[in-house]
Amino acid sequence: MSRLGDLLKLERTRRGLTTKQVSRMCGVADKYLIDVEAGTRIIADDQARRILKRIGLEQQNETEFSLDAIAAAADLATAKTRPDDDAYSRVQRGESARESVKPVMSLPANVSEDGGIFLSALSEVLRQVPVYDASWKVVGARTMPIIGGRIEGGPPDRVLYFLAPDASCRGFRILPGDQALIMPAQSPIDGAIMLVEFNSHRALRKVKLDSADIGRVTLQSYDREFEAETLPVDRVTFIGRAARIEITL
């Protein structure tokens, strides 16, 4: 779905209306509205606002549909990231990080049901994605849009950011302090930069598989010199694949 399509569908279903009812009320084709909600047709902000107003939305903030406006409406500074209790306990005990910590949105206590579409839709379109360091502590969070029920193609409750702790992947253009967006993957992916746990520590490594020996995997690093460590697959925990690297200037 598109961002506006998500919002339109949420407000329509929240009011118990069908697409046919809304299309008649707004003078648009039913197929057009279905395509907008599915994200296959682009709708202008002005037209989306007119449809929302027509179905009964009365909200001062309706003049803006940007993610910044949505975030401001609910004061995202109060949104928290809560780890899954079992997974958090395992990490605190120094056990495997195979189970990801699940981010959960919480809204301010003074947010009421009358807040309109922006507050109602907030947890459906935005998620606080936690940032972990190498010791598996949450050191921050980043607000990410949920599109079509996914974040960058991954399940919203399992994606995370990993803070590169050192220059061991400098040759792969990953420097200390860079943040890697990690998509869950529990099996090795040949040629991918992955977040792995081995020899009692977590790190980003480039993964290489040997078709002649499927029981072993090579983890590559590249600071000033190229290095590779080959290990039995069962001695490596694969947490996820790095979808992209983000830097802070």
Domain that holds residue 33: 3-58
**CATH number, domain with residue 41:** 1.10.260.40
CA distance 157 to 168: 28
**How many domains does the chain contain in total?**
2
**CATH number, domain with residue 168:** 2.10.109.10
pLDDT at 55 over 70: yes
Is 172 a domain residue?
yes
Encoding tokens for residue 38? 């599915």
Angle between helices 117-125 and 3-14 (to 10 degrees): 120
Q: Are 116 and 57 in contact (CB under 8 A)?
A: yes
Residues 6+ apart with CB under 8 A from 119: 73, 74, 107, 111
Is 248 a domain residue?
yes
Binned at pLDDT 50, 70 and 90, residue 127 comes out as: confident
The pLDDT > 70 percentage for the chain reads 71
pTM score, two decimals? 0.55
